[in-house]
Amino acid sequence: MSKINNGVNPTREGYRVGSVPAPEASEQTRGGASSVSFQGATKRYGNATAPAVDHLDLEVEAGEICVLVGPSGCGKTTSMRMVNRMIDLTEGDIQIGGESVMRKDGAKLRREIGYVIQQVGLFPHRTIAQNIATVPQLLGWDKARIRERTTELLDLVGLEPELAGRYPVQLSGGQQQRVGVARALAVDPPVMLMDEPFGAIDPIARERLQNEFLRLQANIRKTVIFVTHDIDEAIKMGDRIAIMKQHGRVEQYATPAEILMAPANEFVEDFVGADRALKRLSLLRVGDINLWRAPNARPGQSSAEVRAELAHPDVEVPYALLVDERERPLGWLTPRDLAGDTVPATADSPLGPVLETGDVMRDALADLLQGESMYAPVVDHDGGITGILSIEIISEFLASPEAKTDEHSAVERPLGTDRETEIRADE
């Protein structure tokens, strides 16, 4: 199996990529990202017999997306809110960039950490520009600096500058969510907390906003602690996932690939679901694994040459592929096609599904099954043949050690077919 490529998803409509540093920021809020370390973090409420979060130990690397996922009441949101001290720890510690959150004033700490919530939380009586400027105003930035930063952030999240003077009620749900992200980025925080940020949006807008945030993260590379109850969202958004049970106990903390292909216990296996293999395929592109090679034949070529190649003991695909002068596949050649002296200009057997190297592997498998095909040609962006995908290749990959180790980071994974999801929210 080929090692996973390190390409980043191309920029499309939505969030613009481009880092916008905040000048003269403090050490804690200077551009870049900081690690987050939970060290026996515990929260008890009143006289409760059991803690809401019980000695949580978790290391989040700088610049990564850590997703906390689990059933309702497992303590994932409490764990996240202890980071900015919206909820104070009972015991233990949380460190950001090696500095304890308990050593800072709570209000000051919260201004230095980005926060995006499910219902967006925009102030309805304030304009979009004023909403984005909330924290800079609290920090005493001058008007010119605030105006410049607001304009930069509107562009960064893909909103037109004329929206700055509107009020939240005049924007769509998707646009409001983008404003929420812009507000969270206002002072270029090293850490962002995202509490089910896309949970109150319709499925099409939700997928689009997930994709747009991943494209944005590919450039800004913030440390993100992301809370969700949806395992599919966790697999898509997370560099690492913490699957939590009651009292904030982590049952497994690993990459999506490892969780899908090597769940730690029965609870994790049940929580992830029976379609673990299909979810693993959704993290891959067709071009991420070694494809087979079929003998290529051109019209007018000697049929004997093609038959000899098919008879070779190392042949991977037992059928010859008819291609044109630009190596574009035309069809599968049958024994009858090769019975004559030369290869015919047309093939008896139809081509069937044709895949591209950038296609999501899960979709490619569906195309193979729907087309009742054992093999499918894979082409590059010019339509030239690059290899052959088969159900056997997919099966061998899922059974290999690479299935749980070779993996893209969250921002490098395929975003899906996108179809309608590429439609802008305001259209």
Higher model confidence: residue 118 or residue 345?
A: 345
pLDDT confidence of residue 119: 64
Beta strands (DSSP E) in 235-380 are 240-244, 250-254, 296-297, 320-323, 329-333, 355-356, 375-379
Asked if pLDDT for residue 38 goes beyond 90, the answer is yes
Listed residue (315, 318, 352, 312) closest to 335, CA to CA = 318
Q: What is the pLDDT of residues 143-153, one digit of tens each?
A: 999 999 999 89
pLDDT confidence of residue 27: 37
The answer to whether 101 touches 84, Cβ cutoff 8 Å, is yes
Neighbours of 408 (CB within 10 A): 22
Res. 12 pLDDT band, cuts 50 70 90: very low
For residues 423 and 84, give the distance between their C-alpha atoms in angstroms, rounded to a whole number: 35
For residues 408 and 362, give the distance between their C-alpha atoms in angstroms, rounded to a whole number: 15
For residues 352 and 332, give the distance between their C-alpha atoms in angstroms, rounded to a whole number: 9
Strand partners, 37: 59, 95
Rg of the chain over all Cα atoms, to the nearest angstrom: 26
Asked if pLDDT for residue 16 goes beyond 70, the answer is no
Tokens of 117: 């919530």
391-398 and 361-370 helices cross at what angle (nearest 10)? 140
Percentage of residues in the chain with pLDDT exceeding 90?
A: 69
Res. 414 pLDDT band, cuts 50 70 90: confident
CATH code, residues 287-404: 3.10.580.10
CA-based angle 6:358:293, to the nearest 5? 100
Tokens of 266: 């029965």
Phi, psi of 118 (to 5 degrees): -60, -45
Percentage of residues in the chain with pLDDT exceeding 70?
A: 89
Res. 194 pLDDT band, cuts 50 70 90: very high
Q: Give me the long-range contacts of 176-179 (CB less than 8 A, separation at least 24).
A: 176/120, 176/122, 177/120, 177/201, 177/209, 178/15, 178/209, 178/212, 179/120, 179/122, 179/128, 179/131, 179/132
Q: What is the pLDDT of residues 83-108, one digit of tens each?
A: 999 999 999 999 999 999 999 999 99
Res. 200 pLDDT band, cuts 50 70 90: low
For residues 89 and 109, give the distance between their C-alpha atoms in angstroms, rounded to a whole number: 14
Distances 40 to 45, 53, 75, 87, 241 between C-alpha atoms, Å: 16, 9, 14, 15, 18
- Average pLDDT in the 304-319 region? 94
Higher model confidence: residue 72 or residue 423?
A: 72
Asked if pLDDT for residue 426 goes beyond 90, the answer is no
Would 36-274 and 287-404 be classified into the same CATH topology?
no
Asked if pLDDT for residue 277 goes beyond 50, the answer is yes
Neighbours of 56 (CB within 10 A): 26
Continuous segment of H or E residues that includes residue 40? strand 36-43
Out of 3.40.47.10, 3.40.50.300, 3.30.420.130, 3.30.360.10, which CATH number does the structure's domain 36-274 have? 3.40.50.300
- Average pLDDT in the 127-132 region? 93
- Average pLDDT in the 400-415 region? 86
Domain range summary for the chain, segments of one domain joined by +: 36-274, 287-404
For residues 204 and 211, give the distance between their C-alpha atoms in angstroms, rounded to a whole number: 11
**Average pLDDT along the chain:** 87
Asked if pLDDT for residue 251 goes beyond 70, the answer is yes
Q: Is 383 left (phi over 0), alpha (psi -120 to 50) or beta?
A: left
Phi, psi of 286 (to 5 degrees): -60, -35
Neighbours of 139 (CB within 10 A): 17
Q: What is the pTM of this model?
A: 0.81
Continuous segment of H or E residues that includes residue 178? helix 173-184
pLDDT confidence of residue 427: 38
